[in-house]
Amino acid sequence: MILIDLLQGILLLTGVGFFLVGTLGILRFPDVYTRVHALTKADNLGLGLIVFGLLLGADSVPAALKLLLIWSLALIASATAGYLVARAARRRGVKPWKAGSGGGT
Amino acid sequence: MTWLLEFVALLLLVTLVLGLIRIWRGPTVADRMLAAQLFGTTGVGLLLVLAELQQMPALRDVALVLALLAVMAVLAFVARVWRQDSNNDREGPT
């Protein structure tokens, strides 16, 4: 049991670490396109790690399956949303950030 | 394990509050919308942790609905608000 607790703790803390990095990316990245990366990758990996951490402590199979369902839904949703926002930004003519062009508001 | 879950929930709440800074600073509406999507993902994680912490399985359903509604908000934003013909790119404090 102590090993499972340890694994759960590691998974949960790693997941929160990815959430923190994702939020840091949202704050520090210079334009819309790069911010999409921070959101759709780091945050969903963090959510996945938290889901797996909670999975170890799930009390029944349906509850565990629901956790996995939530994560897969979040994955599909953020992949779609990230693509759509980037495409809309490109169509509106938002210039991608280049090194040395400043930015970082 | 309770203290660990509480710690995790607290850190997730901190990332939510930090995400508010991006909503405040903008500069485009798309950046604000992305921060709103961050609220969706982080909120789902927070609700799942709270469901385990407080032994409230109903919160998992709330997380499911929140995940659905977050993407619906972004879809509606891209399809309706942030069109090529509308010119509401910069508004509010930048």
pLDDT in tens, A15-62: 999 999 988 888 888 888 888 888 888 888 999 999 999 888 888 888
pLDDT above 50 for B23: yes
Mean pLDDT of B27-41: 83
Q: A residues 63-92 near B, CB within 8 Å? A: 63, 66-67, 69-70, 73-74, 77-78, 80-81, 84-85, 87-89, 91-92
Whole-angstrom distance, CA of residue A23 vs CA of residue A19:
6
Whole-angstrom distance, CA of residue A29 vs CA of residue A105:
8
Interface mutation vs chain A, best among B7, B18, B21, B31, most A CBs within 10 Å: B31
Provide the pLDDT for residue B78: 82
pLDDT above 50 for B93: no
Residue of B nearest to A63 (CA): B57
Provide the pLDDT for residue B88: 52
pLDDT above 80 for A92: no
ipTM of the complex: 0.83
Kindly state whether A35 is in contact with chain B, defined as any CB-CB distance less than 8 angstroms: yes
